[in-house]
Amino acid sequence: MIDRFMDIIGTAHVLTGKAAAKYARDWTGKYNWSPLGVLRPANTGEVAACLSLANEMRLSVVPVSGNTGLAGGTQADGAVMLSLERLNHIREVNAQARSATVEAGVILETLQTAVEAEGLIFPLTFGAKGSAMIGGCLATNAGGSNVLRYGNTRDLCLGIEAVLPTGEVVDLMTPLHKDNSGFDLRHLLIGAEGTLGIITAAVLKLAPKPRAYATAMVAAKSLEAALTLLNRLQEETGGAVEAFEYMPDAYLQEQERHSGQPPVFAARHAVNLLIELGDTAPDAAQPDAQGRVAIAQHLESALEGAFERGDILDAVIAQTEAQRRDMWARREAAAEVCTTRFAIINDIALPLDKVASFFDQMEPRLPQVDAGAQSISVAHLGDGNIHYTVWPAATDPAVHDAIIEAVEDVVLALGGSFSAEHGVGTAKLTSMQRRKDAGALMAMRRIKAALDPLGILNPGKVLP
């Protein structure tokens, strides 16, 4: 088997033993495995040849990009891993069409830096942007902090190239914004977590880079008041809100302990928000007599109104880029802060007006399941995505599962979803079994069987 793969991609790019060790765990360290080996193809043709051979040999293949996922989606016991890290070319940045054609192994931050030179942005952003790769972002339909304005990864993708489990290449690398020529295989493969095909390249949407930002940390009276503020900001700025992030005091205290950063406000507040607006107008960066740009004036005016209404209790507006980065550092540290202990990570989505109800119902319920458990949460409040992390006191896996079930009970009763942006992987297989519509699961299994009849591609993930 090893010799045949070496014939396809070269001896140096089939890793086994100690050479494969760095691929044998996820970022959190929670999931560990022993792959049979790691394949590092250099192009789509080599990916296709590797999958064709694996299919012939009935060998399980687990694709991996930056391996920054949190749901155990790259576990590979008894399988070979196929790394996309060598497919790392930005093929084209088309400023006129506002699109970029990239391979799956391009690191998110690398793409962002490349398009910035054209006055554009690829607006997908989250804490792991320095190591996450485009292929993984597409495979999990990653979200992040700017979904409120720009959408998930799915919304930022015009076309893809992918290799099916049997080795056929699907070339949908079109920059078209409209194409109704049959089933939308692009959207089928995006978010499938590498179970239906391996995405090797994509045509991505770019957006104009805001010429000016206004960023603030705000203490709100309540989550309901925060939603009122969000709606007013959207109306008053024509939808210029880029991010609207929620950080409870319990999280900020842990983050400050972890980083050594001082508190934002003189007093502690239960509801803390990171708000950012972006203005793309040609004169957006022109300051007034007081040195303020227009978008900062909008934000300051809105916050003054909210303070007068009693919706907010305090606010600090970033005056420099360094202050803006300091504010973002607090939010982007969430994955590190929340995994400093063994953590039960609940990545959930709710209607915006039900977010407060979730916390009102879940917080008193948690100690009923595990008396010493502690919750530590952050949320993309603008799109209703809560990262409700629990540090359990109990070590019994049955109690851990009961915590997850309790979260699911509350979420689904409020019309939400047990999975928002991290994907299903292996972490949420029991949730899929318990909660996903039976008809939907049946349809998914039939699609999987049609595209991957031998079940070789990322087996044991997504479908219980």
Mean pLDDT along residues 408-416: 96
| Residue pair 159/175 in contact by the 8 Å Cβ criterion | yes
Q: CA-CA distances (angstroms) from residue 7 to 10, 12, 45, 117, 277?
A: 6, 11, 13, 40, 53
Taking domain 2-83, whether its CATH number is 3.30.43.10 is answered by yes
Per-residue pLDDT reduced to its tens digit, 93-103: 999 999 999 99
What is residue 162's predicted lDDT score, i.e. its pLDDT?
A: 98
pLDDT at 291 over 80: no
In angstroms, the CA 236 to CA 214 distance is: 14
Q: Is 306 exposed, middle or buried (0-12, 13-18, 19+ CB in 10 A)?
A: buried
In angstroms, the CA 80 to CA 63 distance is: 9
Task: Indicate the domain borders of the chain.
Answer: 2-83, 90-208, 212-334, 341-422
pLDDT at 137 over 90: yes
DSSP string, 73-100: TT--TTSEEEE-TT---EEEEETTTTEE
Closest CA to 126 of 204, 78, 66, 36: 66
Per-residue pLDDT reduced to its tens digit, 334-380: 989 998 899 999 999 999 999 999 999 999 999 999 999 999 999 99
In angstroms, the CA 417 to CA 411 distance is: 6
- Tokens 């507006």, residue located: 317
What is the strand order of the sheet 99-103 is part of?
90-94, 99-103, 198-205, 157-163, 169-172
User: How many CB atoms neighbour CB 250 within 10 A?
Assistant: 14
In angstroms, the CA 123 to CA 137 distance is: 12
Q: CA-CA distances (angstroms) from residue 4 to 10, 12, 311?
A: 10, 13, 66
What is residue 177's predicted lDDT score, i.e. its pLDDT?
A: 94
Confidence at 290, pLDDT banded by 50, 70, 90: confident
What is residue 440's predicted lDDT score, i.e. its pLDDT?
A: 96
pLDDT at 289 over 80: no
pLDDT at 285 over 90: no
Q: In the CATH scheme, what is the code of domain 90-208?
A: 3.30.465.10
> What residues have CB less than 8 Å from 447, skipping those under 6 apart?
188, 196
- pTM equals 0.92
Which of residues 72 and 201 earns the better pLDDT score?
201
Q: In the CATH scheme, what is the code of domain 212-334?
A: 3.30.70.2190
Same fold, 212-334 and 341-422: yes
Per-residue pLDDT reduced to its tens digit, 201-257: 999 999 999 999 999 999 999 999 999 999 999 998 889 999 999 999 999 999 999
Per-residue pLDDT reduced to its tens digit, 292-305: 888 998 899 999 99
pLDDT at 405 over 80: yes
pLDDT at 176 over 80: yes
| Residue pair 288/297 in contact by the 8 Å Cβ criterion | yes
Classify 240 as helix, strand or coil: coil
Closest CA to 207 of 161, 239, 172, 171: 239
Q: In the CATH scheme, what is the code of domain 341-422?
A: 3.30.70.2740
Closest CA to 394 of 418, 426, 419, 366: 366
**Number of alpha carbons in the 13 Å side-chain half-sphere of residue 133:** 23
